[in-house]
Amino acid sequence: MVSRSVILLGPALHAVSGVSTHVRQLLGSDLAHRVRLWHFQVGSEGRSERGYQKILRVLASPVSLAAVILRQRADVVHLNTSLLAKSYWRDLMYVLVARVLRRKIVYQVHGGRLPQDFFAGNAILTAVLRRTLRACNVIVVLAEAELDAYRRFVPEKRILIIPNAIEPTDFAGGKRVVRASEPLRLAYLGRITRDKGVFEIVEAMRILKDRGVQVQLSIAGSGAEEISMREAVTQAGLEGQVRFYSPVFGPEKRAFWAETDIFLFPTYREGLPYSLLESMASGVVPIACAVGAIPDVVRNEVHGLLVPPRDPRALADAVATLNADRVRLTDMADAACSRVASHYSVGRLTEDLSRLYGSL
C-alpha cells in the first residue's frame, strides 16, 4: 500500500543532466509503486526563457512549491542538488518552505564542492550552510569522501551514502573483443565544459598523434565550450580523428557505447556520473580522474585507469598503455561490466530510498 507522497525537486526531465537522469530513473522505477512520486522542476536547465521570465520564475517558485506540497499532501520534500553557489542559494528557499510546512526534508547532494571548502573560509556564510544542513532530516551523498566530509561538518545529522544506479541489462552486450589490428575507439559523452577535462582530451589526442598511436575519438554532447573545443581540434590537426555528435539518448546511446572501447573522462569535479556507470555496463573501459565517487566505482587497473586531473600527458600515457595491451583491455572491460551489475543496479537504489522514506 502506498503510504508516502514525495516531491522530487530537480531540473527538467528532458535536460542533459545527471540529476535529470536520476529523477527520471526514480519516476520510472519500482519506487513509484511504493510511494507517490511527483516531480517539481527547478533551475534553468531544460528551459528557454528571457531574463525577466527567469526573474519571475525564481520569485514565484517557492510559492509554487508550497502549493504543490499542499495539493499533493506531500510528506517528504526530496531536493536533488549540487553544492554550487547558484544551486545552494536557490534551494535554500525550498528548504525554508518545507520547514515552514513541517515536511520531512531529504537533501541529496550530487557533487559540487565539499562543505568545509564551499564558502572559502567565510565564517558567517559557512555557519549559514551548516544551519541549512541542520534544517534537513537527512543528507544523502554519493561518495565515501563526501560521507566523511559531511559527517565532520555536521556530525549531529543523519548522513547516508546512496550511490546512483542504472539498469545494467539496458546496456549489457556480448563479451568484448578488442582486435589488435584496429585503432582503439575512444569516446567522451557528456556536457562539453572546461571542468569536464575536454581540453585535456584534445591535448592527449595531439600527444598520441605525435607518438604515432592510431586512435579515433567520438564526442557526444553539447555545452558552453563546444565551439572552443571544435576550434582546438582543428588547431591540433585532429579533424580526421575526431567526430562530434549531438547528445544521444536511448537506443542511440546504447549504439554509441557499443562502438566504443575506452571512455575518456578526465573531469575535475564530479558526483557519481551516469555516463561512467552506463559505459562500464556496456563493457567500455574508463580512463578517469579519482574525484567524487569515481574511485568508489573504479578500482585502478582492475575496472579502468585513474589519472590526475589537468594532466593530458597522463591521459595519453593511459591510452597508450591499453592500446599496447589489448588482452588487458578486454579483461578490464569484463571486470567493469560485472562491477556495475553487482553494485549499481536500480533495484538496489529502489530499496535504499524505500527504506529511507519509510524511516522518515
Whether 59 and 140 map to the same domain: the answer is: yes
* Pair (327, 353) in one structural domain: no
Residues 178 and 320 in one domain: yes
> pLDDT per residue over 118-138, tens digit each?
998 899 999 999 999 999 999
Q: Residue 313: which domain range?
A: 168-343
Q: Which residue's entry shows cell 573522462?
A: 265
pLDDT at 216 exceeding the cut of 60: yes
Same domain, 138 and 185: no
If asked whether residues 334 and 200 sit together in one domain, one would say yes
What is the predicted pLDDT for the residue at 128? 96
181 in the same domain as 153: no
Structural domain count of the chain? 2
Given a cut of 80, is residue 180 above it in pLDDT? Answer: no
The pLDDT value recorded for residue 1 is 39
Residue type for 48, please?
S
Based on the fold, state whether residues 191 and 144 are members of the same structural domain: no
pLDDT in tens, 320-360: 999 999 999 999 999 999 999 989 999 999 999 999 999 99
DSSP 216-256: EEEEE---TTHHHHHHHHHHTT-TTTEEEE----HHHHHHH
Q: In terms of domains, do 131 and 200 share one?
A: no
Q: How confident is the model at residue 162 (pLDDT cuts 50, 70, 90)?
A: very high
Give the CATH number of the domain where residue 176 resides: 3.40.50.2000
Q: What are phi and psi of 75, to 5 degrees?
A: -90, -30
Average the pLDDT over 14-20 and give the result.
Answer: 82
Same domain, 110 and 129: yes
Where does residue 141 rank: exposed (0-12), middle (13-18), buried (19+ CB within 10 A)?
buried
Total number of residues shown for the chain: 360
- Where is pLDDT greater, at 269 or 149? 149
Asked whether residue 64 falls in the same domain as residue 78, the answer is: yes
> Based on the domain organization, do 148 and 212 belong to the same domain?
no
What's the rounded Cα separation, in Å, for the pair 287 and 213? Answer: 17
Give the per-residue pLDDT at 261.
96
| pLDDT attached to residue 173 | 63
